[in-house]
Amino acid sequence: MKWSFKQHSVIPGFSLALGFTVLYLSLVVLIPLSTIFIKTAGLSWVQFWETISSPRVLASFRLSFGASFIAALVNTLFGLLVAWVLVRYRFPGKGLVDALVDLPFALPTAVGGIALTTIYAENGLLGSLLARVGIKAAFTPLGIVIALTFIGLPFVVRTVQPVLQELDAEMEEASACLGATRLQTFCRVILPTLLPALLTGFALAFARALGEYGSVVFISGNMPMKTEILPLMIMTKLEQFDFAGATAIAVVMLVASFVFLLLINLLQWWSARREA
């Protein structure tokens, strides 16, 4: 006699669950984003190109993409370090440090921006120290990088931390027994395992920084051609009732972010396939 058991699940069947998933994503993501392209379609190609290629907009593109890229790189390096300390070491106050990592998630971005501006202004606690060596942080591109680093750090730490927790320590011990140095063990044993998570954290931090507004608008100073970020340019267009121009800039940001995330996913797929 053959016995057959039907697997039961508290989750609805595939068709129903997929239908709700597609509906939810359509209402929250696809339909709102599609309106950006529909609104931009009202511009001719010449108008679209003139909007995104004006000197003021190009300066904002360079600043936003450049500052976001630098902040994501910094977060990738120090996010790995923070995740390593939280996973590999035990010390008093570890729970507090772990909670502080998530603070940019819970803290309103405007509050973070005001706090960073107060600290890094020339008369602030850290800004006065930097001013002594001729470095001005607030109201400069450096201040924008600082703000974007502040809001992007949790993405890297929380992406890398679970991978580090699952990393088998016996592999490191075996590498050490075979005569490998700490640097060789990290580069050949640990880093290949962490690379997909690091790439994911970098991509998330970059995408988050690219669209950040609240924490940057205060510390940047909003000077045209110098410290004016892309989200602020979009707000300026909206205040001028240039809705098509605002959506044109938004489309470029959206496409660039999508292409960047796609490249990161392809790199992750290639890395996983190479390891397999």
Report the greatest alpha carbon distance in the chain: 86
**Is residue 6 in a domain?**
no
- CA–CA dist 257, 205 (Å, integer): 11
- CA–CA dist 197, 121 (Å, integer): 35
Of the candidates 117, 152, 151, 113, the one whose C-alpha atom is nearest the C-alpha of residue 136 is 117
**Is residue 262 in a domain?**
yes
Residue 4: its pLDDT value, please? 47
Q: Is the dihedral of CA 70, 148, 124, 223 positive or negative?
A: positive
Instruction: Give the residue numbers spanning the domain of 141.
Output: 55-275
Lowest mean pLDDT among 33-47, 153-167, 240-254, 260-274: 260-274
CATH number at 257 reads 1.10.3720.10
> Given a cut of 80, is residue 145 above it in pLDDT?
yes
**Is residue 18 in a domain?**
no
> Given a cut of 90, is residue 147 above it in pLDDT?
yes
Tokens of 146: 């600082």
> Given a cut of 90, is residue 110 above it in pLDDT?
no
217-233 tens-digit pLDDT: 888 888 888 888 988 88
Give the pLDDT band of residue 5 (cuts 50, 70, 90).
very low
**Is residue 66 in a domain?**
yes
Give the pLDDT band of residue 237 (cuts 50, 70, 90).
confident
233 C-beta neighbours (distance < 10 Å), count? 24
The secondary element (H helix, E strand) that includes residue 229 is none
> Are the CB atoms for 68 and 206 separated by under 8 Å?
yes
Cα–Cα separations (whole angstroms), residue 159 to 7, 77, 79, 206, 219: 32, 13, 9, 14, 28
**Is residue 164 in a domain?**
yes
Q: Which residue has the tokens 């190609």?
A: 45
The pTM of the full predicted model, rounded to 2 decimals, is 0.84
**Is residue 40 in a domain?**
no
Cite the DSSP H helix spans in 45-180. Answer: 45-52, 55-88, 94-101, 103-106, 109-120, 125-132, 141-166, 169-177
The Cβ-side half-sphere exposure at 127, using a 13 Å CA radius, reads 19
Percent of the chain with pLDDT over 70: 93
For the chain, what is the mean pLDDT?
Answer: 84
The domain tally of the chain equals 1
**Is residue 96 in a domain?**
yes
Give me the amino acid identity at 29.
V
Residue 158: its pLDDT value, please? 92
**Is residue 17 in a domain?**
no
Name every residue whose Cβ is closer than 8 Å to that of residue 71 and which is 6 or more positions away in sequence: 145, 148, 149, 152, 205, 206, 209
